[in-house]
Amino acid sequence: MRRIVVSEFITLDGVIQAPGGPDEDRSGGFAHGGWLVPHSDETSGAAVDEILAAPFDLLLGRRTYDIFAAHWPYAEANAAPEEGDRTIARKFNAAAKYVATHAPDTLTWQHSEALGPDIVTRLHELKRADGPALLVYGSGVLVRTLLANDLIDTLHLFIFPIMLGKGKRLFDDGAVPAAFRLAKTVASAKGVVIASYERAGEVTTGSFALATPSEAEIARRARNA
């Protein structure tokens, strides 16, 4: 079975809108585009490289697809040989792209395929098939669909030490209750916490309230007093 792996740049208050640049997504009057750039360093870059080291296909929402399609098909030719953009571009361009979209005929990036009208059914089909992991970047609306249908296997959160107050957020009230296990965590010198979580069964609960002792327990305590 294929795994769905979600990688997100996120603020302390859960915003994921336009991390990479001022014009990435100004919808809703968002004025803080490019908020991750001042915090980027070798540690966060190495974490991205590690995620991209394993084989993958891309699973994208339409807005993120359009942002990627405007950059990565050209980055491979334009980047200097020593720049990381060239390596990422080569991998992204070669990968199959599965896209949540209402306009499949407008997918112009090579190896792109629309998920179709029944996204959840198609995702289940993709997960049952053989192939590399399905890697999600950004794509907030799609990720919320994944959370609502318990389809995420691995969640990489790059948590940036800022709060923006307004902006599109990753999590809403529609997620299915689910437990995750912290598989790895790294902190950069600029305060970015990179936390990797693996799906780990159902949510368990408990209570710190003191239970009323049974007669047997009262007797045991009395004997040991």
SS3 132: coil
What pLDDT does 208 receive?
Answer: 76
Q: What percent of the chain has pLDDT over 90?
A: 84
What pLDDT does 80 receive?
Answer: 61
What pLDDT does 65 receive?
Answer: 96
What pLDDT does 76 receive?
Answer: 74
Domains of the chain, by residue range, sit at: 4-224
Q: Maximum CA pair distance of the chain?
A: 81
Domain 4-224: assigned CATH number: 3.40.430.10
pLDDT tens track for 79-91: 665 566 788 999 9
What pLDDT does 84 receive?
Answer: 66
- Positions of the chain with pLDDT lower than 70, given as ranges: 79-84, 210-213, 225
